Every structure is written in structure tokens, then in C-alpha cells.
Amino acid sequence: MSANLQDISKLRQQTGAGMLDCKKAIDEAAGNFDKAVEILRKKGVAKAAKRSEKVAAEGLVHSYIHAGGKIGVLVEVNCETDFVAKNESFKDLVNDVAMHIAASAPLYVSKEEVPAELIDKEKDVYREQMKNEGKPEDIIEKIIDGKIEKYYSEICLLEQSFIKDEDKTISEMLVEKTGEIGEKITIRRFSRYELGEGLEKKSCDFAEEVAEQLN
């Protein structure tokens, strides 16, 4: 029995696991929801949901320099204890996040950080484009919702596909790592610097170079 979107969404909401992990679990459980939950728990993926209310105030502030000093990233990733912050697995995770930021150039950590006026502006642009294309009024708003979700995946770190495993978003990767490490892990903030940014030059060149080297 193949998993349907409703079951996948329900399982994801209950366990905090990623969409792909939920689909695999439901398929493995032949559609048995309770068994799918058990499968995810055994894999450690569902542990993250239980830690969602925990306070993550420890962690690391990590710097990453790439492309011969042309791109720099400063990122703060939090966990619950200083013990985990000193763990090599956590340090590797933080470095992976920093490398991803260098390559993918997100503008915000999460959807919640995106200014409402920016989203409204994007919607107005999409709406005008589709009106000019002759799209029916009754489906324009539905199309806009999809376009906005895609926009989030371009500018929000947590919504981007992880550069080392494009089947997972950064958010899903953090949930998985939370299950493995056993503590809540969050990305609090970051800054990305690109040499000459804002000057009259092709600003995307360095980011494309980083992405090619990391893949």
C-alpha cells in the first residue's frame, strides 16, 4: 500500500519526522499508521518531536570561509547542553550548515522571519503576471500559494534542500539529527558575506562556485 499525502502529513505532524522518512515508514508498515510511528521511533527520527518544547541555549558560533576568502559565513546553532556542543557529531553538523549557507545564500532562517510586506509584494507581482497571461481568476490565488512556497524554499534556510542530501530540507535534516543526538537542535541566526557584494559585478558567481565544489 503506497502512502498518500494525508497520511504522510499526519505522521509528520505527530512525529516531527521528514516527509520522505514518513512516506518510507508508511510504505514499510503497509499503511498501518501505528506501526509507521513505531518504525520512525526505532530509527530515532521521531525523538525530535518530544524535544520541541525544550530550551536550546547552548551550542556553537561557527565561522566558515570559502572560495579563497571570497565568501564567509558566521552561524549560531543551538543545542540543550554544553556536553553535546563539544561533541564532534554536533560540530560536523554546524560546519555542514555553514557550508550550506555559503553555497545556497539564504536570506532568512525561517518563514516567520520574512517580512509580510515582502510576501505581499511577491504576491502582487505573481498576480499581475498571471492576469497578463490570461489565467482564470478562480485559480490565480491557488497558483500564488504554490509560488510563495517555492519562494520560501529559495530564501529561507530551513526550507532549502540540504546541499549534501537534496531529498531533505534543512529543517528535516535538523529533525533527523535531533533524533540521533538526543537533544533539540536549532539554527538561531547567521550572517553571510560575499566579497564585493553590492558592487557592480555578478554576485552569484561565487555562490555557484561553492555549490559546485560541495556537490
Classify 191 as helix, strand or coil: strand
CATH tag for 58-111+156-214 (out of 3.40.50.720, 1.10.3720.10, 3.30.479.20, 3.30.470.20): 3.30.479.20
Whole-angstrom distance, CA of residue 61 vs CA of residue 63: 7
Residues in the chain where the model's pLDDT stays below 50: 203
Whole-angstrom distance, CA of residue 83 vs CA of residue 6: 39
Which pLDDT score is estimated for 192? Answer: 96
User: In the CATH scheme, what is the code of domain 115-153?
Assistant: 1.10.286
Whole-angstrom distance, CA of residue 118 vs CA of residue 103: 23
Which pLDDT score is estimated for 203? Answer: 47
Which pLDDT score is estimated for 131? Answer: 86
The reply to whether CATH 1.20.120.1690 applies to domain 5-50 is: no
* Domain residue ranges of the chain, discontinuous segments joined by +: 5-50, 58-111+156-214, 115-153
Whole-angstrom distance, CA of residue 96 vs CA of residue 166: 13
- 65-104 pLDDT, tens digit each: 987 899 999 999 999 999 999 999 999 999 999 999 999 9
